Copies of this chain bind each other. A is one copy, B any other.
Amino acid sequence: MTSEPTRTEATEAGDDGPVSQTLARVSRLHRLSGGRLLRPTGLCSGQEFLMMTLWKEGSVRQSELAKTLDLDPSTVTLMLRRLEQGGHVVRMRDPQDRRVMLVRASAESYALRPEVAQVWARLEEYTLDGLDDEEREAFARILSKIEKNLSSTDDG
C-alpha cells in the first residue's frame, strides 16, 4: 500500500501536503522542543525571546519591546506580569512620561542568560542536524524571504 488508493484529482499543484502545512507542523515541533529544553530554566517557550531582548538592550519601553518582538501589546503585558511575578524582570513607570512602562531584566535573571544561550544553541543544532552548510545557508536565506513576504501582509 505505498500509494494512496483514493487519489481523486484533488489539487492542481502537486501533493496534498503543501509547504504551509509542513511549516506549521515544523514550527510547532520546534516550539515544543524549545519549551522542553527551556524547562530547567523556569522559563516558558516564548519568554526567552523577551528576556534575550532585555539582556541585550537594557531598559526599554514596553511599546518598544512589543515592536521589537513583533507581538501584540496585550501579549507583552501579560508575559511581563508573569515574568515580574517570577522575579525575572523589573518594571517601572517612566517619570518623564507617565504613560510608558520601562522594563529591564532583574539582576538575578542574568544568571539565566548563559543557560538560555546554551539552550538556544542546542536547539539550533538540534534543528539543523544533518544539514550541510549550503543547506543551512539556503534555508536561512529562503526563510528570510518568506518572512518578508508575510510581513508585507499587514501594511494597512
Q: Which listed residue, B19, B32, B136, B153, touches A19 by the CB 8 Å rule?
A: B136
Is residue A109 within 8 Å, beta carbon to beta carbon, of the partner chain? no
Q: Mark A1-45, 1 if CB is under 8 A from B, else 0.
A: 000000100010101101111111111111111101000000000
Q: Which residues of B contact A130 (CB under 8 A)?
A: 145, 149
Q: Which listed residue, B19, B20, B127, touches A23 by the CB 8 Å rule?
A: B127
Are B120 and A20 in contact, with the CB atoms below 8 A? Answer: yes
Are A127 and B153 in contact, with the CB atoms below 8 A? Answer: no
Q: Which residues of B contact A135 (CB under 8 A)?
A: 138, 142, 145
Cα of A8 to Cα of B30 in the assembled complex, Å: 27
Q: Which listed residue, B120, B126, B154, touches A153 by the CB 8 Å rule?
A: B126
Q: Which listed residue, B129, B149, B154, touches A126 by the CB 8 Å rule?
A: B149
| Given A19-B139, A70-B28, A33:B126 Cβ within 8 A | no
Are A121 and B49 in contact, with the CB atoms below 8 A? Answer: no
Is residue A85 within 8 Å, beta carbon to beta carbon, of the partner chain? no
Is residue A78 within 8 Å, beta carbon to beta carbon, of the partner chain? no
Q: Which residues of B contact A136 (CB under 8 A)?
A: 19
Q: Which residues of B contact A131 (CB under 8 A)?
A: 142, 145-146
Q: Which residues of B contact A18 (CB under 8 A)?
A: 120-121, 124
Q: Give residues in A with beta carbon < 8 Å to B.
A: 7, 11, 13, 15-16, 18-34, 36, 49, 52, 56, 68, 70, 117, 120-121, 123-124, 126-131, 135-136, 138-140, 142-147, 149-151, 153-154
